[in-house]
Amino acid sequence: MSALTRALDTALDRTVVPGYSSIGYRLRRTWWPDDPRPEALAGKVALVTGAGSGLGQATGLGLARLGATVHLLVRDEAKGAAAADAIRAEVPQAEVHVRLCDVSDLSAVRRFAEAFAREVPRLDVLVHNAGTLPAERTESVDGHELTVAVHVLGPVLMTELLRPVLAGHDARVVLVASGGMYAQRLPADDPDYRRGEYRGTTAYARSKRMQVALAPLLQERWRSDGIAVHVMHPGWAATPGVTSSLPTFAKVTGPVLRDASAGADTVVWLAASEPAPPGGRFWHDRAPRTTHYRRGTRETAQERDQVWRWVLDAVGLD
């Protein structure tokens, strides 16, 4: 990448609107790394959470196009079946399976992971895409604020329990975060958002900040098993989740929103590119990105460790 291209790439990120929109996607396609080779995932197995529509379905489609056997993890079996049918219509030879689990429910995650590991001896790609943005503070069945349960606790526990089938063959784990995390500090003293006036968008961004801050620690925890951990943000994509949770935002930005396949592009690239990208980083449009733009959002090592200990305790891990 030339100095001029790097400067333009940075400018797109700093100005947000062009960088996160379809404009940035179209521009960056002219200089970003090559697409994964055809059949790059042939013979490999992928699991995508939140795969009933939007980015999850688009990720499943992208992985299937590269030859992967894809497991779509959903809460709604009918939506999962419709997503699987849509993928098969695009990729007739695709092997697609629908799995059921509520990622916010830690007992359900344990049951799912145990059953999946018994049935599927090898997992190469695990994409944590399941997401939620409640209008009011809502707790999971385990008593945790819902966004942190879905975006942090469920994914950490699921990955840990699937280590036996992820280990030993350069597996890749991708967490789908959000650029909204740039506006929030790591909530070290209140990870369950019990204090202050609750806002769904703030809760969502705080939980995504937790994903990004913990990425290096997750990478270190699972490195010995040959597992690479990546966190990425998809930019602004037109998905059912955005339309239902942020209708005003979707209406105002509609003309420049990315489609779901563009939002999922970096997930698929991280899952299939060769050589494997380095783990523990935060990615957008096939490039590692800074995790902070403002000094006020930077966490200390002590704050990060405090959240890490809270997560491990919440999911019952050492």
Three-class DSSP labels, 246-308: CHHHHHHHHHHCECHHHHHHHHHHHHHCCCCCCCCEEEECCEECCCCCCHHHCCCHHHHHHHH
78 within some domain: yes
219 within some domain: yes
pLDDT confidence of residue 250: 59
Cβ neighbours of residue 248 under 8 Å, at least 6 residues apart?
none
The Cα–Cα gap between 51 and 72 comes to 5
Determine whether 193 is an active site residue: no
**Total tally of structural domains belonging to the chain:** 1
Q: What amino acid occupies position 25?
A: Y
List pLDDT tens digits, range 162-179: 999 999 999 999 999 999
187 within some domain: yes
Q: Which residue has the tokens 């733009």?
A: 293
304 within some domain: yes
Average pLDDT over residues 149-163: 98
42 within some domain: yes
pLDDT confidence of residue 13: 86
List pLDDT tens digits, range 182-240: 999 999 999 999 999 999 999 999 999 999 999 999 999 999 999 999 999 999 987 77
**Phi and psi of 62, rounded to 5°?**
-60, -40
The CATH number of the domain where 247 resides is what?
Answer: 3.40.50.720
Share of the chain above pLDDT 70, in %: 96
What's the domain range around 153? 17-315
Higher pLDDT, 81 or 2: 81
The Cα–Cα gap between 264 and 56 comes to 8
11 within some domain: no
Cβ neighbours of residue 252 under 8 Å, at least 6 residues apart?
none
Single out the catalytic residue among 20, 25, 182, 204: 204
Buried b (16+ CB within 10 A) or exposed e, 186-201: bbbeebbbeeeeeebb
4 within some domain: no
The Cα–Cα gap between 26 and 23 comes to 5
174 within some domain: yes
